[in-house]
């Protein structure tokens, strides 16, 4: 009996398919998991009120830090 | 004369420049704020925006009521252990400097833990340690730096409003499911014939099924509820075919995957709900800083000072005031109830109520009405009626203010949806019965396919996007509407009613005419110098008319509140003020407001003040005349009738001496004649008419502060554009009609495939978003073109 008999070939093909499939399962699970993480983060941020005011944070972000303010203070006193 | 700008508030410093730290200030108030900031290293306040500040107002005793723990507790969001959180509405918030300084409050008072600004709502949320400081101290601090909070009776009984975020949740869920279902449908779109896809496609399909569950049962639930409500009241609204479409899509898709017949339409299903919700979201343009639901509560103070029988003062909530109580009203405070003036000099400004800005003088024994603002000194009054029983506030017990009474407006979408639904259902039944004879196996397939493809997604999207965009365009033009339906209602208007005082006229400008003996240069100088010392609004207005006159230093100055001013300069004495004060005789009551003057007891003449009409009133009326019935209703006397008759086009109805209820009745009478009425008013006395009318528009000089309940708020500077806005609304409705035609074309194409039994999921998945997106593009582009025209 040679190694390349029919049953072996079928078994071999099947094992390749099964490996393929496990990758699909893995990918599906992972992708849905990642999507779910973002989804939960979204729900959480809505609940915390982050979508209530979409303007003020954009301005607040541009304010200088304390240190810079003090420097400016000195220069006006000079 | 070169005017210098105040470094703090940007006002021009006309006569008194205060120089401090090499900067110019217009008054001591502004200088003090600057000092506070510079001492606390907060001068970067002036770096974000030029002249960001406001002149701090004098507030002695105004916030004493916050000492009363019960009243203060009503204003808190949260109180626990040593922490309290309060949210305060500050109308002055307008730029990034404001945000910056208000979020650095902890540098001014170390017991403030944090403060956070909500710019669109003009609110600041302060967290502080209440063992060390109090709400009153914080309010006083804010007032001292020019950010006086606005605390009204509305804050008192407003429970903690729950924010409704359900639309964002629904949109998020639908979007999430839509994306994932699309991704899972890809293999079948491309008809990959791989052996493994064939074998394991079920896992894909069942995943899609599970993703669609929250979309149908949560995100889409609003459509089922609305359709059910519509059917119960026998209206085929647009949500009926939508709900039918969602239902059929879900059932057919589930059946297909359960019996392994096909892949189902889960992609179309989730996409449909997602797009519909997106339309809803877009339509929901809210102006957070405006309120369209105001009643007298937003004007009235929360507490007032009551004088007890032993002459002690106490702060009581407004609702606790009873008939017979004695109240103390300070300068700049609002009179909350009807009463009788006991003593004190009353100069009452009724501009919130009538729009008339010139204050009225009252003497003891006179009746005072709720809603007036005291302008000079302290007064004592005896209460005649409790808050809800007062002359003005009684208006709100009228049934117009019980909201449910307004008959629901039938929107353009709802009116087309009836015919549409009947049409689609009949096609579905005809096609099904045809297939029952021809090939019965396909009948059910065709029936569901018709309902799926005819789901009026594009029709349902046309109005939200067109009207939502119009709302934004109007908003940019300072015309703020409550919601999208107002645009549709505005398009049907055929009658326009104007209030006179404060609406057609402006209290920002007065025309002053002099009637009497010509004054010489020296007399003018004395007059100007005396006016300069006076704080009375009429003096201020009159003062600004003497531009090229020198100022003298006058020695003897006496202001008799409620009467006038007495001045001596060298040998000349001047009296100016009310008729009985200057001329010593009661002149027959005239219809106008006048200031009389006499030199050395010799009567010289009088200055008469008239509210001037807004620019463009005449041309606005003549342009509106063609398309609308016009009317002017006024609470004032007939003094202006002749002038209005001469200047307004013929046929304009003029009504005078109208009480607030009369205005309401007038609107109601026109509506009985099947007129669609828009009421344009400004004061609280128009509130009834504004509520009764089909569209009530409040005209406001300062949109942040005062406007009665209405459907829209118009900035006074855009008054002359009203006609243009109404025409733009009509055009917007036409745009919607064109998009209906466009979307019907898509439906016809879809129906062809559905009726012939050739509908495959990928076709539906392409056709539905394609039609939706093209409608969105069409309406947005065309409304933007329309918007450019009204600029």
- Within 8 A of B119 by CB-CB distance, chain A residues are 53, 55-56, 59
For the CA atoms of B753, B757, B758, B764, the dihedral, rounded to the nearest 10 degrees, stands at 60
Cα(B544)–Cα(B521) distance, integer angstroms: 16
Q: Indicate the helix (H) or strand (E) that contains B608.
A: strand B602-613
- Answer whether residue B736 is part of any domain: no
Q: Quick one: B501 and B519 in the same domain? A: no
Residue A77: pLDDT band (50, 70, 90) is very low
Q: What average pLDDT does this structure show over B165-187?
A: 89
Burial level of B531, CB count in 10 A (0-12/13-18/19+)? buried
CA distance linking residue B240 with residue B456, whole number of Å: 10
Give the count of domains, chain B.
Answer: 6
Top pLDDT among B223 and B293 is at B223
Give the pLDDT confidence of B181-199 residue by residue, as tens digits: 988 888 777 766 666 667 7
Residues B531 and B492 in one domain: no
Residue with tokens 């209005």: B644
Across A66-75, B72-81, B99-108, B561-570, the highest mean pLDDT is recorded for B99-108
- Mean per-residue pLDDT over chain B, rounded: 81
CATH of the domain at B119: 3.30.70.100
Mean pLDDT across B54-73: 76
Per-residue pLDDT averaged across B124-135, rounded? 86
Domain-embedded: residue B55: no
pLDDT exceeds 70 at position B269? yes
Average pLDDT over every residue of B78-105? 84
Q: What are the φ/ψ torsions at residue B627 (nearest 5 degrees)?
A: -110, -15
Rounded Cα distance between B48 and A62, Å, is 10
Partners of residue A58 in chain B, C-beta under 8 Å: none
Q: Is A69 within 8 Å of B41 when comparing Cβ atoms?
A: yes
Give the domain extent around B11: 4-48
- B445 inside domain: no
- Cβ–Cβ of A49/B117 closer than 8 Å? no
- B603 and B621 in a single domain? The answer is no
Q: Specify if B322 maps to a domain.
A: yes
Short-list B634, B134, B668, CA closest to B398: B668
Q: What is the pLDDT of residue B785?
A: 92
Q: What is the CATH number of the domain that holds B662?
A: 3.40.50.1000
Kindly list the residues of chain B whose beta carbon comes within 8 Å of any beta carbon in chain A.
41, 43-44, 47, 96, 99-100, 103, 116-121, 163, 165, 168-169, 172-173, 176, 179-180, 183, 195-196, 199-200, 203, 207
In a domain, B747, yes or no: no
Q: In chain B, what is the straight-line distance between the N-terminal and C-terminal CA atoms, in Å?
A: 35
B196 belongs to a structural domain: yes
Q: Nearest residue on chain B to A56, judged by CA atoms? A: B119
Q: Mean of the pLDDT values across residues B71-80? A: 79
Residue with structure tokens 């343009």? B285
User: CB distance A46–B180 less than 8 Å?
Assistant: no
Residue B405, pLDDT score: 45
Residue at which a domain ends, from B335, B370, B394: B394
Q: Which residue has the higher pLDDT, B560 or B373?
A: B373
Rounded to a whole number of angstroms, the distance from the CA of B118 to the nearest CA of chain A is 6
Do the chains contact at B180 and A35, CB–CB below 8 Å? yes
Whether residue B20 lies inside any domain: the answer is yes
Cα–Cα dist B656/B643, whole Å:
13
pLDDT of residue B735: 93
Cα–Cα distance measured from residue B13 to residue B11, given in angstroms and rounded to the nearest whole number: 6
Q: Which of B116-130, B310-324, B623-637, B700-714 has the lowest mean pLDDT?
A: B700-714
A1 located within any domain? no
Residues spanned by the domain of A49: 6-77
- pLDDT for position B216: 93
**Residue B172 has what pLDDT?**
93
Domain assignment present for residue A43? The answer is yes
Sheet with B479-481, strands from edge to edge, namely: B479-481, B712-715, B695-700, B677-681, B495-499, B629-633, B653-655
CA dist B131 and B115 (Å) reads 17
- Local confidence band at B1 (pLDDT 50, 70, 90 cut-offs): very low
Instruction: Select the residue from B34, B39, B43 to test the A interface by mutation, using most A Cβ atoms within 10 A.
Output: B43
pLDDT of residue A53: 79
A67 — pLDDT class (breaks 50, 70, 90) = very low
Share of chain B above pLDDT 70, in %: 90
On the question of pLDDT at B213 being above 90, the answer is yes
For residues B511 and B491, membership in a common domain is answered with no
Does B420 fall in a domain?
Answer: no
Contact residues on chain A for B43, CB-CB shorter than 8 A: 72-73, 76
Nearest to A32 among B103, B121, B180 (CB): B180
**Closest chain A residue by Cα to residue B164:** A52
B143 and B180 assigned to the same domain: no
Q: Are B403 and B425 in contact (CB under 8 A)?
A: no
Q: How many domains does chain A have?
A: 1
Q: Considering only CA atoms, which of B465, B463, B425, B468 is closest in space to residue B447?
A: B425
Residue of B nearest to A72 (CA): B44
Whether residue A75 has pLDDT greater than 50: no
Interface touch A35/B165, C-beta < 8 Å: no
Count contacts between A and B (CB, < 8 Å). Answer: 68
Which of B137, B157, B177 is at the close of a domain? B157
CB contact under 8 A, A64 and B43: no
User: pLDDT tens digit string along B358-414?
Assistant: 777 777 788 888 888 887 778 888 888 887 777 777 767 666 666 544 556 778 888
Report whether B274 contacts B480 (CB < 8 A): no
Which of B99, B163, B207 has the CB atom closest to A56's CB atom?
A: B99
Query: Is the pLDDT reported for residue B539 higher than 80?
Result: no
Indicate the length of chain B as a whole number.
Answer: 791
Top-confidence residue, B374 or B155: B374
The residues that bridge with B510 in the sheet, in sequence order, are: B611
* Contact (CB<8Å) B183/A31: yes
Kind of pairing, strands B653-655 and B629-633? parallel
Contact between chains at B176 and A39 (C-beta distance less than 8 A): yes
Tell which wins on pLDDT, B754 or B192.
Answer: B754
Q: Annotate B269-311 with three-state secondary structure.
A: HHHHHHHHHHHHHHHCCCCCCCCCCCCHHHCCCCEEEEECCCC
Among the residue ranges B178-187, B249-258, B380-389, B778-787, the one predicted with the least confidence is: B380-389
Tell if the pTM clears 0.95, that is, is over it: no
Q: For residue A72, is pLDDT > 70? A: no
Please name the residues in contact with B319: beta carbons below 8 A apart, sequence gap of 6 or more: B156, B387
Q: Is residue A60 part of a domain?
A: yes
Q: What is the pLDDT at residue A13?
A: 55
- Helical H runs in chain A? 6-47, 56-60, 66-77
Neighbours of B190 (CB within 10 A): 10
pLDDT of residue B729: 92
pLDDT in tens, A4-57: 555 555 555 555 555 555 777 888 889 889 999 999 999 999 888 888 777 888
Other Cβ atoms less than 10 A from the Cβ of B641: the count is: 15
Across the interface, whether the CB atoms of B169 and A76 are under 8 A apart is answered: no
Specify burial of residue B347 (Cβ count, 10 A radius: 0-12, 13-18, 19+). Answer: buried
Position B54 pLDDT exceeds 90: no
Do B141 and B243 fall within a single domain? no
Decide if B118 and A72 are in contact by the 8 Å CB cutoff: no
CB < 8 Å to A17, chain B: 195-196, 199
**Residue A73 confidence class, pLDDT cut points 50, 70, 90:** very low
pLDDT (0 to 100) of residue B273 = 93
Last residue of a domain, one of B132, B157, B182: B157
Average pLDDT over residues B728-741: 92
- In this structure, the answer to whether residues B252 and B276 fall within a common structural domain is yes
Q: How far apart are CA B523 and CA B383, in angstroms?
A: 45
- Among residues B321, B382, B448, B348, the alpha carbon closest in space to that of B755 is found at B448
DSSP for B662-719 reads: HHHHHHHHHHHTT--EEEEE-SGGGHHHHHHSSEEEEEESSTTT---S-SEEEEGGGG
| Contact: A56, B163; criterion CB under 8 Å | no
B633 and B602, same structural domain? no
Q: Which residue has the higher pLDDT, B502 or B124?
A: B124
Least confident of B70-84, B157-171, B759-773: B157-171
Q: How many angstroms away from the CA of B640 is the closest CA of chain A?
A: 47
């Amino acid at each position: 009996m040679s190694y390349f008999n029919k049953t072996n070939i079928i078994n071999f093909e099947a094992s390749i398919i099964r490996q393929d499939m496990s990758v699909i399962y893995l990918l599906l699970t992972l992708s849905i998991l990642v999507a779910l993480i973002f989804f939960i983060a979204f729900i959480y941020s809505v609940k915390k009120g982050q979508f209530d005011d979409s303007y003020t944070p954009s301005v607040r972000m541009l304010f200088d830090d304390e240190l810079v303010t003090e420097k400016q203070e000195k220069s006006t006193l000079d | 004369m070169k005017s210098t700008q105040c470094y703090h508030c940007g006002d021009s410093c006309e006569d008194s420049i205060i120089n401090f730290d090499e900067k110019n200030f217009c008054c001591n108030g502004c200088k003090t704020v600057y000092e506070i900031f510079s001492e606390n290293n907060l001068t970067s306040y002036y770096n974000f925006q030029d002249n960001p500040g406001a002149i701090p107002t004098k507030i002695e005793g105004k916030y004493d009521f916050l000492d009363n723990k019960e009243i203060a507790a009503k204003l808190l969001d949260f109180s626990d252990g040593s922490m309290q959180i309060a949210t305060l509405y500050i109308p002055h918030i307008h730029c990034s400097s404001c945000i910056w300084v208000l979020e650095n409050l902890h540098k001014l008072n170390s017991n403030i833990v944090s403060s956070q600004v909500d710019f669109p709502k003009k609110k600041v949320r302060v967290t502080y340690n209440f063992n060390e400081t109090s709400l009153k101290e914080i309010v006083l601090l804010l007032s001292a730096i020019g950010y006086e909070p606005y605390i009204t009776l509305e804050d008192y009984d407003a429970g903690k409003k729950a924010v409704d975020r359900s639309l964002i949740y629904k949109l998020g869920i639908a979007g999430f499911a839509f994306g994932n279902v699309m991704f899972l449908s890809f293999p079948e779109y491309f008809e990959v014939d791989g052996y493994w896809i064939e074998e394991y496609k079920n896992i894909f399909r069942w995943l899609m099924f599970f993703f669609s569950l929250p979309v149908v049962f949560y995100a889409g639930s609003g459509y089922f509820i609305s359709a059910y409500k519509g059917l119960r009241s026998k209206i085929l609204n647009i949500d009926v075919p939508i709900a039918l479409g969602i239902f059929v899509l879900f059932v057919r898709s589930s059946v297909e995957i359960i019996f392994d017949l096909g892949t189902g339409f889960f992609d179309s299903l989730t996409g449909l709900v997602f797009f519909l919700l997106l339309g809803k979201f877009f339509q929901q343009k809210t102006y957070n800083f405006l309120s369209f639901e105001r009643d007298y509560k937003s004007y009235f103070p929360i507490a007032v000072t009551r004088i007890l029988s032993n002459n002690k003062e106490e702060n009581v909530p407004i609702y606790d005031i009873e008939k017979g109580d004695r109240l103390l009203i300070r300068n700049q405070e609002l009179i909350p109830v009807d009463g009788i003036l006991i003593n004190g000099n009353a100069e009452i400004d009724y501009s919130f109520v009538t729009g008339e800005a010139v204050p009225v003088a009252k003497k003891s024994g006179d009746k005072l009405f709720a809603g007036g603002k005291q302008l000079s000194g302290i007064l004592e009054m005896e209460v005649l009626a409790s808050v809800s029983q007062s002359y003005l506030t009684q208006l709100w017990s009228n049934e117009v203010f019980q909201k449910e009474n307004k008959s629901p407006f039938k929107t353009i979408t709802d009116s087309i949806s009836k015919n549409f639904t009947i049409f689609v259902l009949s096609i579905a039944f005809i096609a099904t019965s045809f297939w029952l004879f021809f090939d019965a196996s396909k009948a059910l397939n065709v029936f569901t396919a018709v309902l799926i493809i005819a789901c009026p997604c594009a029709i349902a999207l046309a109005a939200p996007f067109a009207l939502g965009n119009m709302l934004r365009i109007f908003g940019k033009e300072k015309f703020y509407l409550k919601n999208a339906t107002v645009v549709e209602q505005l398009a049907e208007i055929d009658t326009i009613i104007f209030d006179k005082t404060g609406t057609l006229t402006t209290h920002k400008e007065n025309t002053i005419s002099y009637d009497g003996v010509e004054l010489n240069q020296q007399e003018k100088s004395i007059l100007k110098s005396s006016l300069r010392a006076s704080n009375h609004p009429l003096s201020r207005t009159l003062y600004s008319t003497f531009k090229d006159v020198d100022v003298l230093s006058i020695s003897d100055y006496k202001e008799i509140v409620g009467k006038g001013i007495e001045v001596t300069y060298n040998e000349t004495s001047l009296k100016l003020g009310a008729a009985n004060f200057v001329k010593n005789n009661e002149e027959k009551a005239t219809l106008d407001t006048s200031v009389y003057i006499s030199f050395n007891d010799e009567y010289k003449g009088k200055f008469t003040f008239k509210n001037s009409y807004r620019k463009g009133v005449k041309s606005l009326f003549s342009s509106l005349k063609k398309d609308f019935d016009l009317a002017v209703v006024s609470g004032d006397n007939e003094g202006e009738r002749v002038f209005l008759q001469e200047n307004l086009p013929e046929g304009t109805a003029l009504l005078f001496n109208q009480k607030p209820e009369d205005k309401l009745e007038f609107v109601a009478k026109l509506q009985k004649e099947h007129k669609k009425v828009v009421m344009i008013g400004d004061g609280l006395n128009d509130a009834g008419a504004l509520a009764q009318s089909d569209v009530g528009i409040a005209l406001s000089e300062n949109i942040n502060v005062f406007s009665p309940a209405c459907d829209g708020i118009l900035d006074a500077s855009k008054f002359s554009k009203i006609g243009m806005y109404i025409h733009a609304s009509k055009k917007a409705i036409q745009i919607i009609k064109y998009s209906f035609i466009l979307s019907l074309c898509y439906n016809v194409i879809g129906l062809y495939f559905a009726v012939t039994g050739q509908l495959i999921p990928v076709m539906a998945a392409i056709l539905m978003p394609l039609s939706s997106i093209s409608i969105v593009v069409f309406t947005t582009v065309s409304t933007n073109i329309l918007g450019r025209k009204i600029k």
